[in-house]
Chains A and B, each alone.
Chain A
Amino acid sequence: MIAIIDYGMGNLHSVSKAVERLGYEAVLTSDPQTILEADGAILPGVGAFGDAMDNLRQTKLDDVVKFYAASGKPLLGICLGMQLLFSESEEHGANDGLNLLPGKVIRFKGDFKVPHMGWNKLSFLQEQSPLFNGLTEGHVYFVHSFHAKPEQSSDLLATTDYNQQVTAIVGRSNVYGMQFHPEKSGELGMQLLGKFLELAKSKQPQ
């Protein structure tokens, strides 16, 4: 079973449906027990970093996510959920994140359109990552105004180019993050989500 962590940020319906279409049982939940028992967990999120962290803290789900990550089972942050994995964000003043990955989330600066919205091409930096096994680089769907800067280059698995190198996929042992929306990114998005779910090894009999 895959837990999709519901902490009041954004529409989780599409993520949940995508997981089900890939043949896994998806449960939208804010219950710590259910999350901790899951074979894989997804931290989605749309909205502001500070609000999201406030919601996680108020419901004590911040500790649950950290505990889950420490358990060694696969965890995936999507969009804002990926940004929350980092140490801090400068969105609306400095905010602490979950600190599972060292690095900062910063605003796009420059003479170009923000948010970075639309289909952009991935470059796989670490071909050996289990997420990329057998996949070909292609376009995925981004919507974001802030982007993450991992401190350690080994945590950066894939990037895209938007007037600069932009973090697209991060990973460190069992903790992964995708800045784009795999559930809205056509076939490649579904394949990447599928590779993550394979790590959870909880495929239900069809």
Chain B
Amino acid sequence: MLAKRIIPCLDVKDGRVVKGVNFVNLRDAGDPVELAATYDKEGADELVFLDISASVEGRATMIEVVKQTAGEITIPFTVGGGISHVDDMKRLLRAGADKIGINTAAVKNPSLVQEGSRKFGSQCIVVAIDAKFNAEWGEWEVYTHGGRQTTGIKALEWAREVERLGAGEILLTSMDADGTKDGFDLKLTQAVSDSLGIPVIASGGAGRVEHFSDVFQQAHADAALAATIFHYKEMTIREVKDDLRRKGVEVR
């Protein structure tokens, strides 16, 4: 049986980690490579780098970060943010990334999912979906551009569509839960997870240790992603895994 995965996410801008990171033993808390290696040692099962650089130079720097990280860590990692072409994917995979995350670009150009999975294999292509409950529809809507733009697309339909196009995994962020620390969005996660044949990574809302067992046991997520709580040491990956083990959830 596959273990449930715990995935810290690092926001990287121009080669530096942004959003406060509160690791005490780091020589340089802004160095994504050192932080990645620390999470690897702490038992993270995978890492996600989200590149929020706005400039061409910033993106070039990310390639360097990916290269160095690949040489330092012993777990798989995904790189996402601003990737809109298979050539971008190729450069990042060549530099040592294991998976590529696409979000807005996939909505704008769904064939990118197909092209990427044909060229590099489904297992490399993670489609990130930012979803928010639309009360009028009674279901969730897809947002793009870092959650700033509505699309009129239903999240469940979009998830099924990208699976059909060859996505290997869905990184599902609940915009309603994100930042609340009240727990993952169990309804959204279960709705998407139960209607797909590919793994779903739940994201947004983790605030306490038990939120992780909730999203695995009640909402059937395959993996759970968090940023702030790990960066600020509000809890460690080990604490999360100990709790999961006690509750009978298989973890590494």
Contact = CB atoms under 8 A, between A and B. Distances in A.
Interface of A: 11, 13-14, 17-18, 21, 46-47, 113, 115-121, 138-139, 141, 143, 161-162, 181, 183-187, 189-190
B3 A189 contact: no
Contacts of A116: 2
Given A115-B123, A117-B123, A118-B222, 12 more contacts: A13-B70, A13-B71, A13-B95, A14-B70, A46-B121, A116-B2, A118-B45, A120-B3, A141-B75, A161-B1, A162-B2, A185-B74
B90 to A, nearest CB: 10
18 contacts: A14-B70, A47-B121, A113-B198, A115-B122, A118-B2, A118-B45, A118-B223, A121-B1, A141-B75, A141-B76, A162-B1, A162-B2, A181-B76, A183-B74, A184-B74, A184-B75, A186-B43, A187-B74
B98 A184 contact: yes
Contacts of A46: 121
Contacts of A117: 2, 123, 168-169, 199
Nearest to B45: A119
A11 B90 CA distance: 10
Contact of A190 (B2, B74, B199, B222): B74
Contact of B40 (A13, A18, A181, A186): A186
A181 B75 CA distance: 9
Contacts of B122: 115
B75 A13 contact: no
Nearest to A184: B76
A184 B75 CA distance: 4
B187 interface: no
A119 B45 CA distance: 8
A186 B40 CA distance: 7
Given A13-B71, A18-B74, A118-B199, A186 B2 contact: no
Interface string B48-71: 000000000000000000010011
Contacts of B94: 11, 13
Contacts of B252: 119, 138-139, 186
B85 to A, nearest CB: 19
Interface residues of B, number: 31
Interface string B64-101: 00010011101110000000000000000111101000
Contacts, number: 74
Interface string B113-129: 00000000111000000
Given A118-B3, A139-B3, A11 B93 contact: yes
Interface of B: 1-3, 5, 40, 43, 45, 67, 70-72, 74-76, 93-96, 98, 121-123, 168-169, 197-199, 222-223, 250, 252
A21 to B, nearest CB: 8
A146 to B, nearest CB: 12
Nearest to A48: B121
Nearest to B94: A11
Contacts of B96: 11, 13-14
A185 B222 CA distance: 18
B9 to A, nearest CB: 18
Nearest to A181: B76
B46 to A, nearest CB: 9
B121 A186 contact: no
A186 B75 contact: yes
Given A14-B96, A46-B121, A115-B123, A189 B1 contact: no
| Residue with the greatest number of chain B CB neighbours at <10 A, chosen from A21, A143, A162, A181 | A143
A70 B222 CA distance: 43
A115 B70 CA distance: 23
A189 B123 contact: no
Given A46-B121, A143-B123, A115 B74 contact: no
A61 B121 CA distance: 24
Contacts of B123: 115, 117, 143
B70 A120 contact: no
